[in-house]
């Protein structure tokens, strides 16, 4: 299949491009700079240096593609998440960027459009499992993900195969957010917030990439892509500290965490016991890292091997 990827040099994009090429797809991918284009060429893709917000350029770039994947995000780093202003680039990618890519995909006659989304959209349901039909609560900075999902529905309404993948929290040995988390946990600065009883749903980036490739062949719709074992936060953080041999994390009361880290704390401490059975029912996909209990050990081993090399 001829596949166009926006966000091909990002945390999810790189392993996805690599896997698409390895499984025989013809891949063209967007790059913001010639340097990023060289990265894509190294992954086996044809780079297109252009601006995702330029409709004319995107229409030309997507022409001839059978599938379009929108994997571009600009999530601010952990220290900058507190201010909503730092989410503007990400919001624009999800709203305006998605609209432009869907319009370009429709003009190209593409059959499939895949949109990266997030499970954080779901309302807090405590210890209940969260399926795709669960209620949504999406204030800023989450609301733009809903804009992207609506654009995907527009693609489907035009007789396309629009697929939304709601991913859990990413982690891997190559993800900048993971490296930042590990650095904080090493210094006991990545705390368990509140009682730590709220559930956290995660997905290893390599498993997310495999799911993205598998999504090319699923019916239109919205799918949760998470591992098999969401954990209460205290167990999730415990799996991290155990994997690296760090001292146990400190606990911080929720009101104190709000003062320290701002509004995102409230959004990120929703209970997210997300269920992945719908996606598994329509694909042969299954996560190689079924839980962060195994996943964090794999990350620790990879980082240790990298330092030892």
CA distances from 78 to 13, 130, 178, 287 (A): 20, 26, 10, 26
Say what the pTM is: 0.95
The rounded mean pLDDT for the chain is 94
Token pair of 289 as six digits: 């890292």
β pairing state of 26-31 and 2-6 = parallel
Q: Is the pLDDT of residue 174 over 50?
A: yes
Token pair of 201 as six digits: 């749903």
**Cβ contact 116:167 at 8 Å:** yes
Task: Burial-class residue 34 by CB neighbours within 10 Å (0-12, 13-18, 19+).
Answer: exposed
pLDDT digits (tens, 9 = 90+) for 27-81: 999 999 999 999 999 999 999 999 999 999 999 999 999 999 999 998 887 777 7
**Cβ contact 272:120 at 8 Å:** yes
Please report the pLDDT score of residue 308 as a whole number.
Answer: 47
Share of the chain above pLDDT 70, in %: 99
Single out the residue of 126, 262, 136 nearest to residue 199, CA to CA.
126
Dihedral-angle region of residue 286 (phi above 0 means left; psi in -120 to 50 means alpha; beta otherwise)? beta
CATH fit for domain 2-308, picks 3.60.15.10, 3.30.70.600, 3.40.50.720, 3.20.20.70: 3.40.50.720
CA distances from 77 to 144, 162, 209 (A): 18, 29, 21
Q: Is the pLDDT of residue 309 over 90?
A: no
């Amino acid at each position: 299949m001829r596949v166009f990827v926006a966000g091909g040099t990002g945390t999810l994009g790189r392993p996805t491009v690599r896997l698409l090429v390895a499984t025989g797809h013809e891949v063209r991918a967007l790059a913001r700079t010639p340097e990023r284009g060289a990265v894509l060429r190294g992954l086996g893709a044809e780079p297109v240096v252009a601006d995702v917000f330029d409709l004319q350029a995107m229409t030309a770039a997507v022409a001839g593609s059978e599938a379009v994947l929108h994997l571009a995000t600009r999530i601010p780093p952990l220290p900058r998440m507190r201010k909503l202003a730092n989410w503007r680039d990400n919001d624009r990618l999800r709203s305006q960027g998605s609209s432009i890519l869907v319009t370009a995909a429709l003009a190209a006659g593409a059959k499939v459009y895949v949109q990266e989304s997030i499970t954080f959209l779901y309302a807090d349901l405590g210890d209940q499992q969260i399926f795709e039909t669960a209620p949504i609560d999406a204030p800023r900075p989450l609301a733009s993900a809903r804009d992207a999902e609506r654009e995907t529905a527009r693609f489907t309404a035009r007789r396309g195969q629009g697929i939304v993948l709601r991913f859990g929290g990413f982690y891997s040995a190559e993800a900048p957010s993971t490296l930042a988390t590990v650095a904080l946990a090493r210094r006991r600065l990545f705390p368990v917030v509140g009682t730590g009883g709220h559930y956290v749903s995660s997905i290893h980036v390599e498993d997310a990439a495999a799911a993205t490739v598998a999504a090319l062949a699923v019916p239109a719709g919205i799918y949760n892509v998470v591992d098999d074992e969401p954990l209460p936060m205290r167990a999730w953080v415990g799996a991290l500290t155990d994997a690296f041999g760090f001292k146990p994390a400190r606990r911080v009361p929720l009101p104190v965490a709000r003062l320290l880290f701002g509004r995102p704390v409230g959004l990120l401490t929703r209970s997210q016991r997300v269920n992945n059975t719908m996606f598994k029912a329509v694909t042969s996909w299954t996560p190689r890292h079924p839980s962060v209990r195994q996943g964090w050990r794999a990350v620790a081993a990879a980082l240790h091997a990298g330092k030892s090399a």
